[in-house]
């Protein structure tokens, strides 16, 4: 018998699917093909595996399996409900499935702003597609306007705290909206959020969705000290974004360097 400490994420996931009586198989791409009632669902466990390797949180894997249930595949909410749940998410541009049917905007060569919908309980994030627009009978510009407005509203509850390291203020965001922490750097209000502590423009590292460091431009030489933690988060997190150093100012976002090796 495999002890809980030695179980893999796949073993935990499969055991929970069996408990829920969901039939499943693995396809050639390594995705789980799960039958939930009359619905066939394709699920990648790649991000969950990485989080489990980092956190060893068995319950998180079980919760992910429990989301694969018939209630999660009902029709999307109507527009009046959905418009309060719209957000956007900062994502890497090299997503293997691409963004063809997804509402998105290019930020840099390596970063994309993807418009998303959170579930009413906050447990799931889904990308907004053209199918959603047809269902809601609204245009792209209205989705973008509403998502941007919602993110600005959420930003009002975000604060900046700092660690003083050798006279350098290393800033980080404090927020309950952890999946959108990195996404807040795209908001219009981000400038006013960081100016009191770091002036403007600023340097940012955002290796994962829930990890952001802020540094004043005058402290550029301090960036090298962040390399190990940025690479650790980038390689071990289930939701990596970028190992680049980003400069954010009035002209937008620019990658000024990277902690990745040439082989990556």
Helix (H, G, I), strand (E, B) or coil at 43: strand
Q: Measuring CA to CA, how many Å separate 88 from each of 13, 146, 184, 204?
A: 28, 10, 9, 18
Tell me the average pLDDT of the chain. Answer: 88
What pLDDT, on a 0 to 100 scale, did the predictor assign at position 2? 44
Pairing of strands 211-216, 244-249: unpaired
- Residue found under tokens 């431009």: 217
Banded pLDDT at 114 (limits 50, 70, 90): very high
65 vs 160, higher pLDDT = 160
pLDDT tens-digit readout, 143-171: 999 999 999 999 999 999 999 999 999 99
Q: Is 174 exposed, middle or buried (0-12, 13-18, 19+ CB in 10 A)?
A: exposed
- Cα–Cα nearest to 238, from 176, 156, 178: 178
User: Which of residues 62 and 30 earns the better pLDDT score?
Assistant: 62
Find out whether 101 and 130 touch, Cβ atoms under 8 Å. yes
pTM listed for this prediction: 0.79
Average of pLDDT values for 65-76? 63
């Amino acid at each position: 018998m495999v002890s809980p400490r030695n179980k893999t994420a796949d073993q935990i996931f499969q055991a929970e699917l069996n408990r829920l009586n969901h039939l499943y198989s693995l396809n050639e791409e390594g995705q789980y093909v799960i039958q939930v009632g009359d619905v066939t669902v394709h699920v990648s466990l790649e991000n969950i595996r990485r989080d489990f390797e980092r956190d060893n949180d068995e319950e998180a894997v079980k919760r992910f399996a429990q989301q694969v249930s018939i209630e999660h595949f009902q029709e999307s909410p109507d527009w009046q409900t959905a418009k309060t749940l719209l957000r956007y998410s900062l994502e890497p541009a090299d997503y293997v499935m691409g963004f063809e049917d997804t509402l998105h905007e290019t930020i840099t060569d390596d970063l994309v702003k993807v418009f998303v919908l959170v579930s009413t309980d906050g447990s799931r994030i889904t990308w907004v597609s053209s199918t959603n627009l047809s269902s809601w009978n609204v245009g792209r510009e209205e989705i973008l306007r509403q998502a941007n407005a919602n993110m600005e509203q959420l930003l009002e509850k975000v604060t900046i705290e700092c660690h003083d390291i050798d006279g350098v203020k290393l800033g980080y965001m404090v927020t309950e909206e952890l999946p959108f922490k990195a996404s807040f750097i795209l908001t219009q209000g981000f400038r006013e959020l960081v100016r009191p502590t770091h002036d403007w423009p600023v340097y940012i590292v955002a290796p994962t969705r829930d990890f952001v460091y802020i540094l004043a431009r005058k402290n550029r030489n301090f960036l090298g000290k962040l390399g190990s933690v940025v690479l650790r988060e980038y390689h071990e997190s289930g939701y990596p974004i970028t190992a680049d150093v980003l400069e954010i100012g009035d002209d937008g976002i620019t990658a000024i360097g990277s902690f990745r090796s040439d082989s990556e």
